Structure 1
Amino acid sequence: MAQTAQAVHATAAAAAAASNAGAHHQHRHQQQQQQHPLDPLAVPLGISLYTRALAGVLAFDDEIWNNCAVYFSSLHRNTKTHPSLYTPLLPNMLDFFQRATKHCPWSGPLWSRYILTAEDAGWSFHNVESIKHAATNTKALDENGMTGVLDMYTAWCGFLKRTAMDPNASEDAADVAEVGLLAALEDVDLWGKRLYKDAYQGDPNFRLERILIQYLTEVKGDTDAARSHWDRLSHHALLANSYDFWLNYYLWEMVDYASRPKASSPTPPTPSTGGKSARVPTLATGVLQRALTQKMLDWPERIMEVYLQHCNDYEQPDTLHYALDTVHKTRRIVAKRREREKAAAAAAAAAAYTTETQPQTEQTQDQVVADSMQDATAPGSPSNGKRKRDETAEDAGEAASKKAKSVEASVDDAVSQESKSKRDRENTSVMVTNFPPDVTQTAVRRYFKEYGHINNLILHQEADHKSSSALIEFRSPEDADSALLRDQKYFNQSQLSVKPGTRLTVFVSNYPPTADEAYLRRLFAHCGDVFNIRWPSLKYNAHRRFCYMSFRDMDAAYKATLMDGTLVEDQYKLQSKFSNPSHKKDREGAVAEGREVRVKGVHPATQENDLRSVFGKYGKVTTVRLLTNLSGQHVGTAFVVFETKEQAENALELDKTKFKSQLLEVELSKETNYRPSATMRGDPSSRDPSLAPSGDGDIAMPDEPGNTQQKDQKPTPAEIQARTMAIMNIPDTINDARIRALAEKFGSIVKLVLRPDHAGAVVEFADASTVGRAALGLEGFEIVPHHKLRTGNVKELYKEKSEQQTDTHKAPKMSWMPPPPTVRRPVLGRGGSKRGGLGFVAVAKKEKE
């Protein structure tokens, strides 16, 4: 499928290139009458490539159809004066547009060109009218709002006007055109009112009205009726503030003025009369005067310039004096208005700059929850135990140096990948309700795609099965703001409600480790309807325990924040706050503040007090932690926290110094947050898996004393292998506690290692017979919707990931053909002009949610 998509896109790109070559060929043919031997192939190639592209998945892309229409139309026009060998290859344009409108019935430009082509081909009135009826009968013409409707009706009204103005037209052609023009205006108005109700303001370009006015002026000769239409339009708010409307109105009056015959006096003037009376375009002057009275005119400077020039050319001195006074007063008013607009623009730019400079990453909120979480941990909670700063040794036989190198080598990749996913979902999302119950994600994306790139879309059908709702995340806050224009607009027959997604999402942490989505929905059920729960990926930190809960309305989200500090299951002090990525400063810890140093090469006999006395010479030491393994022996790494950043930087002088016969390596700790695995051993009460972040942004983990019995009676590798199994296809949002809860139903667990980077977990049971029962019970288990587990051995778990990596980086086979360029997948839908925004404005909100 991917190869087919690439081939189709490559075809479209090649067709565009061939069409450019064909146009260049025609230009050279007309200008120089000389052709390169290969030039004649460009046009047949372009025709065949467009034909192939429109026969595939791109047949539903109206932008491709419009490009092809322009290409074929240009070739047809050129062949009328310069016939060539490829003339028989050109398709019939009427058949072409019939296919185009059948595949893309929402495209107004295609319907418009279809009507124009039929008129150019000499079709009868009834045949052209049948095209118009076919367009109005399709249910997709208003899918882009009123844009397609107005495009089609403009072509239809233009056909009526030209038919009436034809000198060879029948006697009733003028009457038919008048009836058709008035009916078209009425139909468009009713169509807009049906879609947008009172929000519909008409066509800002008043195309149909201009055609009607031209018809009344040139065909009927009824300038009074035409002037009444201009006057009616001038009271329309959408047009009254447009300088373009007033200039067109003024030009029409000037044309009418110039077309009037000069009145001849029956008697010559006498000295008593004072001479001939001047003939001035008073009505045109009045149009410009009315334009300057509009307080919100978009370009008053242009109107003032035309007004003064007009009075200088045609009016009497007293009218020119009045014009000078009016322009002088208006300029002062406009200058103050421009100052206010400039100040508002500067304030908006400053606010936008402030927003851009603030951290907007979800990872920041994950990592810096430190300080608040230190107070949030309830007394007696397992989260109060001693933390471990790096992944501890899982086996005494593992080489600590190899492990440290692998972790450090992966840190940069993890940080770089997390930094690429900077997103501010809370300020770039909108909540859309009242979609039809059977709406699809594709339809929703097509409806909103012209407002900006959609990063994510969550679509849920309501419990009553009468409607659906969607939470749509855009790329930027500006895109989300523009999508609000769809509020109170219609999707088919459903009137949508589009509201900002701000203050709908709550950051929740420190809940029980085994809590799943159903548990959290029950916990917050009294607050309101939970629309969606977003879990973090554990791929780069298997110890994360938090989520983002999006509620349907702000009241429910506010009630959820009131649960902050609630004691859950008598030991977990829940944290529930509004999600806000800009709150980085409130949650920084020792690592983020630069107050912690990492010390390597520590002698095995070193105690915490020894390090405290050595580093205490550079400042007040608040915390000293030695990294230990499962047996309680430290592995040569320690972390020292100072009271200030300056003290920590001064302690760097100890780098490369000798302490107890070993050279120390001292450096500032870095925020890597990279822990790709989580390990649980023995009784689950001895260790709290998937711990919440501690006070300094790391993972608080209690000490685990060594098991003397296991030291004395160590199992053989064969015995460990016999009682160990792998669980695969685990989503990277599932923590180790939930996997343990599933596995321990089949027997006692000695050790569980969660590996989100391999989409699985390794489970060692106490009894080898338990492995078989667990494999049968967990095979095909649906841990989350549409995600079933698989079981196997450890080699299969790691082999599966390595094979995927091998396939991904497999060297391409040598070929005489160059590799195809990287292209996007085709999108079923249409391009074209921006949806919405034509002839209507957003309805004012009655209530502030």
Structure 2
Amino acid sequence: MEFDEALPKGTKRRYSPEPETEASEDAKKANQGHHTRKRESSTVVVRNLPINYNYYKVRKLFQNCGNIEHIDVHKTALEDSRIARIEFQDYNDVLTALTKSHKKVGQNEITVEILQNSTLWVTNFPPDYNAYALRQLFGKHDGNVLSVRLPSLRFDSRRRFAYVDMASADEASRLVESLNKSLVDTYKLVVKLSEPSEATKRTDSALLEKRQVLVKNLDQYKVSREMLSEMFKQFGTIEKIAIPTDHDKSSDSTIEKLNSGFAFIDYSDASSALSCLILNKVELEGSPLEVTIADKKAYLERQAVKRLLASKKRRDNIISIYPLDDKTSTAQVKNLIVEQAGIAASDIITIYLVYDHEGALVAAKDAPTAARMSLALNGYELNRKTIWCGTIKDLRNRTPGQIATRNRVRKSLNNEATPANKLQPSNPGTKMTNDDFRSMFLGK
């Protein structure tokens, strides 16, 4: 749902399909960093470490091998020893680390091997899943999960995939067999061996090449994939039809929904996509279709956020939440609000992630609901960070890396809030006197 639905009715919105600015492209390049990491050839797995070994001890043991990028240390499935994943900066460091294999560490003889063919690419897991949930899912099959890596959502909040490193190629292959196409909360999981050497076509190529069409206002109980194919194939070759389905289990309806009210159709060329726009407002199963060329949602979202941050208008139904890391998804934020504030998911109009300011904007159906959300979340601990709620202005004034603090009201001895003027000396610019302190504590 677009954020403009949270704006007052009658507010007009103009959209001009502009290319992304040079500034945004430069930001992407800067975010990528100067050093290209090749994990598939620069990572080792260390087995049979003593049970008392932690990150610092492992780092000390391998620090003379080269530049270490990252270390993960975990108990084995049998919990009788530790296993570590060490990522070095380049392959030469790995060769040095291999010389430590069969070294005696305490009472244990460790082994060091290159970690190869052990990384899984996972997608289509439930949107509210985080790294911990994925680790629990893959750890149920007697395997050793070394690490779970999620992508940054900074430039596209809809990215949903992960890389899961297992301790061996056998474990990875076994999990592909057992988990690929399995159902997790009605979502069909996709689990494949990661193949960095195989160049794959971008999944959003149809969108970028203007070959993708968005069809809205579908009857959710009548319109099927076959109907859409029959209607749209007359304009050109269709590569794919994506029909999101409703995974909401809260509905009391016994009739299965065939779609969520919209679909994406990818043509083989842009001219076919343009030709099918003639179907706009044509009725299908009694509903007039809305047919448009699909826009790059991430770009449109950023433009909507920019408009809100720049607006001077007060919006009591929108709150800001901060700080959030760039791997927290909208689904995770939504679940947190629903659980902590005790409201219905439908009370939340939409959520926008604003990673430039390490936060999010949440639009509620009305101001009282927004206030309820703010009271429930203010001071809540999420991912080892205390999060706070505020206005749009609070988030706009926040800079990345800033420590979130709140002005807490000081309490007097009678447990009432002490007015600010009571805390000031009787004569500004001078030190507080005994009378000032007496007045402050006795409330005189």
Q: In 1, distance between residues paired with 2:394 and 2:164? A: 35
Task: Please tell me whether residue 452 in structure 1 is matched to residue 66 in structure 2.
Answer: yes
Of structures 1 and 2, the larger Rg is shown by: 1
- The one-letter code sitting in structure 1 at the alignment partner of 2:209 is E
Q: 1:737 to 1:435 in 2, by over 3 A?
A: same
Q: How does 1:466-477 map to 2 (within 5 A)?
A: 467-477=81-91
Higher helix share: 1
Measured after TM superposition, the shift of residue 406 of structure 1 is 6.2
Q: 1:740 to 1:760 in 2, by over 3 A?
A: same
Alignment deviations for residues 74-118 of structure 1 (CA, whole Å, 9 cap, x no partner): xxxxxxxxxxxxxxxxxxxxxxxxxxxxxxxxxxxxxxxxxxxxx
In structure 2, which of residues 145, 148, 158 is the aligned counterpart of residue 533 of structure 1? 148
Measured after TM superposition, the shift of residue 399 of structure 1 is 5.0
- Bigger relative contact order, structure 1 or 2, given CA contacts below 8 A and separation 6+? 1
In structure 2, which of residues 332, 335, 344 is the aligned counterpart of residue 741 of structure 1? 335
- Aligned counterpart, 2:160: 545
- Aligned counterpart, 2:374: 775
Q: How does 1:12-27 map to 2 (within 5 A)?
A: none
Measured after TM superposition, the shift of residue 760 of structure 1 is 1.1
- Aligned counterpart, 1:39: none
- Aligned counterpart, 1:793: 391
- Aligned counterpart, 2:129: 515
Q: Report how many aligned residue pairs link the two structures.
A: 323
Report if the CA contact (8 A) 1:460-1:468 is conserved.
yes
- The one-letter code sitting in structure 2 at the alignment partner of 1:566 is S
Alignment deviations for residues 756-795 of structure 1 (CA, whole Å, 9 cap, x no partner): 33221111222423334322332333332x2332222221
- Aligned counterpart, 2:169: 554
**How large is the RMSD of aligned CA atoms in angstroms?**
4.4
Task: Please tell me whether residue 766 in structure 1 is matched to residue 365 in structure 2.
Answer: yes
Q: In 2, distance between residues paired with 1:469 and 1:624? A: 43
Task: Please tell me whether residue 480 in structure 1 is matched to residue 81 in structure 2.
Answer: no
Alignment deviations for residues 138-192 of structure 1 (CA, whole Å, 9 cap, x no partner): xxxxxxxxxxxxxxxxxxxxxxxxxxxxxxxxxxxxxxxxxxxxxxxxxxxxxxx
Q: In 2, distance between residues paired with 1:597 and 1:498? A: 49
Measured after TM superposition, the shift of residue 501 of structure 1 is 1.3
Alignment deviations for residues 349-399 of structure 1 (CA, whole Å, 9 cap, x no partner): xxxxxxxxxxxxxxxxxxxxxxxxxxxxxxxxxxxxxxx9xx986765555
Task: Please tell me whether residue 564 in structure 1 is matched to residue 158 in structure 2.
Answer: no
- The one-letter code sitting in structure 2 at the alignment partner of 1:742 is L
- The one-letter code sitting in structure 1 at the alignment partner of 2:181 is G
Q: In 2, distance between residues paired with 1:559 and 1:443? A: 31
Measured after TM superposition, the shift of residue 455 of structure 1 is 1.2
Report if the CA contact (8 A) 2:50-2:82 is conserved.
yes
Q: 1:727 to 1:457 in 2, by over 3 A?
A: same
Q: In 2, distance between residues paired with 1:677 and 1:496? A: 50
- The one-letter code sitting in structure 1 at the alignment partner of 2:83 is S
Q: How does 1:559-638 map to 2 (within 5 A)?
A: 559-562=174-177, 563-570=179-186, 572-585=187-200, 587-588=201-202, 591=205, 596=209, 622=238
Q: 1:468 to 1:527 in 2, by over 3 A?
A: closer
Residue aligned with 2:397, SS: helix
Alignment deviations for residues 548-592 of structure 1 (CA, whole Å, 9 cap, x no partner): 11223333221211122223333x22110111211214x455839
Alignment deviations for residues 492-513 of structure 1 (CA, whole Å, 9 cap, x no partner): 5542221221122211101111
Q: 1:640 to 1:750 in 2, by over 3 A?
A: closer
Alignment deviations for residues 122-151 of structure 1 (CA, whole Å, 9 cap, x no partner): xxxxxxxxxxxxxxxxxxxxxxxxxxxxxx
Report if the CA contact (8 A) 1:506-1:578 is conserved.
yes
Measured after TM superposition, the shift of residue 422 of structure 1 is 3.1
Q: In 2, distance between residues paired with 1:489 and 1:677? A: 54
Higher strand share: 2
TM-score of the aligned structures, taking structure 2 as reference length: 0.60
Residue aligned with 2:99, SS: helix
Structure 1 portions without partners, runs of 5+: 1-387, 600-611, 626-638, 652-671, 681-715, 805-849
Report if the CA contact (8 A) 1:778-1:790 is conserved.
yes
Report if the CA contact (8 A) 1:432-1:496 is conserved.
yes
Percent identity over paired residues: 28
- The one-letter code sitting in structure 2 at the alignment partner of 1:799 is N
- The one-letter code sitting in structure 2 at the alignment partner of 1:469 is I
Report if the CA contact (8 A) 1:536-1:733 is conserved.
yes
Report if the CA contact (8 A) 1:679-1:752 is conserved.
no
Measured after TM superposition, the shift of residue 737 of structure 1 is 0.7
Q: In 2, distance between residues paired with 1:492 and 1:397? A: 71
- The one-letter code sitting in structure 2 at the alignment partner of 1:583 is E
Q: In 2, distance between residues paired with 1:480 and 1:803? A: 33
Measured after TM superposition, the shift of residue 725 of structure 1 is 1.2
- The one-letter code sitting in structure 2 at the alignment partner of 1:796 is D
Q: 1:798 to 1:493 in 2, by over 3 A?
A: farther
Residue aligned with 1:414, SS: helix
Q: In 2, distance between residues paired with 1:756 and 1:542? A: 9
Q: In 1, distance between residues paired with 2:320 and 2:54? A: 37
- The one-letter code sitting in structure 1 at the alignment partner of 2:325 is P
- The one-letter code sitting in structure 1 at the alignment partner of 2:364 is F
- The one-letter code sitting in structure 2 at the alignment partner of 1:778 is L
Structure 2 portions without partners, runs of 5+: 213-231, 242-264, 275-295, 305-311, 403-444
Residue aligned with 1:800, SS: coil
- The one-letter code sitting in structure 2 at the alignment partner of 1:532 is S
- The one-letter code sitting in structure 2 at the alignment partner of 1:533 is V
Alignment deviations for residues 399-447 of structure 1 (CA, whole Å, 9 cap, x no partner): 535x946656413431453374632223311111333344443443332
